[in-house]
Amino acid sequence: MTTPTNWKDHGIKIVRAGELDSNTPQTPGMSRAAAITHASTGASRLWAGTVVVQPNAKTGPHHHGELETVLYIVKGRARMRWGDHLEFSDEAGPGDFIYVPPYVPHQEINARLDEPCEAVVVRSGQDPVVVNLDLESPELPNAGRSEMPFHPTS
């Protein structure tokens, strides 16, 4: 691989807070915005953005195929469920990182009813791979809206 000599055009890219792209799949109760994409920075193996999960919102059960995902919790509290029947559960708060391995069935829930959960999301690929799963969630009915899939099929 040849190293570019024009570092001004082929070096560091800064995506400012006001430049995030909200033209990504959205779900009621959740707002996503892309920051690091091929279009915005030329990234080819990473995707990064933000997600804000409103109180009383949760994802449907899903996985992201071969992609690895990392979430960094900025504000609020995230509850993660995972496993073949979403039988495992743990929570993360501000400053915590969550790692989701490839193909792991999981569900994200705002664990707080009084404030949004804000997180930075990083994935190991550009493709929006989402496989929605037909699993029953063990979450109580007031812990999010189970009738809405987190990731719409597009």
pLDDT in tens, 17-72: 899 988 877 767 888 899 999 999 999 999 999 999 999 888 889 999 999 999 99
- Work out the pLDDT band at 153, boundaries 50, 70, 90: very low
Any domain includes 51: yes
Any domain includes 31: yes
Torsion of the alpha carbons at 22, 40, 63 and 91, rounded to the nearest 10: -70
Residue 16, judged by CB atoms within 10 A of its CB (0-12, 13-18, 19+), counts as exposed
> How many whole angstroms separate alpha carbon 16 and alpha carbon 67?
26
Q: Which domain holds residue 105?
A: 16-127
Tokens of 133: 């799963």
Any domain includes 2: no
Q: What is the CB neighbour count within 10 angstroms for residue 66?
A: 12
Q: Which residues pair with 72 in a beta bridge?
A: 97, 120
Task: Please count the structural domains in the chain.
Answer: 1
Any domain includes 65: yes
Q: Which residues pair with 62 in a beta bridge?
A: 106, 132
CA-to-CA dists, residue 84 to 58, 87, 107, 134, angstroms: 18, 7, 11, 11
What CATH number did the domain enclosing 103 receive?
Answer: 2.60.120.10
The answer to whether the beta carbons of residues 149 and 27 sit under 8 Å apart is yes
Which of the pair, 60 or 105, is modelled with greater confidence?
Answer: 105
Among 13-22, 56-65, 74-83, 119-128, top mean pLDDT goes to: 74-83
Which of the pair, 143 or 123, is modelled with greater confidence?
Answer: 123
Any domain includes 148: no
Any domain includes 4: no
Any domain includes 3: no
Residue 65, judged by CB atoms within 10 A of its CB (0-12, 13-18, 19+), counts as exposed
